[in-house]
Amino acid sequence: MKILGMGVPELLIILAVILLIFGPKNLPKLGSALGKTVKNLRDGIGSGEKEIEEAVDQDEIVEEVAEEAPKKTVKKKVVVKKADE
């Protein structure tokens, strides 16, 4: 079983080092704080995606692009660029 490219022995070593650094009494507090942080990050990312989707109306953008007539816009820029040279 590989998690982030590490096998079980590597994960056990990392867990042992964390246990030594923080001690067995603080480990539940650390786990709880880490879990809350991950939950808050997921909630923040989810709400950010939702806000972006609400702010950007894709149908409106497609209509605007279609109205711009891209070939004419490109042709104008090419003609202007050649005239400047």
Looking at per-residue pLDDT, the higher value among 4 and 47 belongs to 47
Would you call 2 helix, strand, or coil by DSSP? coil
Rounded Cα distance between 74 and 80, Å, is 10
Ramachandran angles phi, psi of 79, nearest 5°: -65, -45
Rounded Cα distance between 69 and 81, Å, is 19
10-61 pLDDT, tens digit per residue, is: 888 988 898 888 888 888 888 899 899 999 988 888 887 777 777 776 667 7
The pTM for the full model equals 0.45
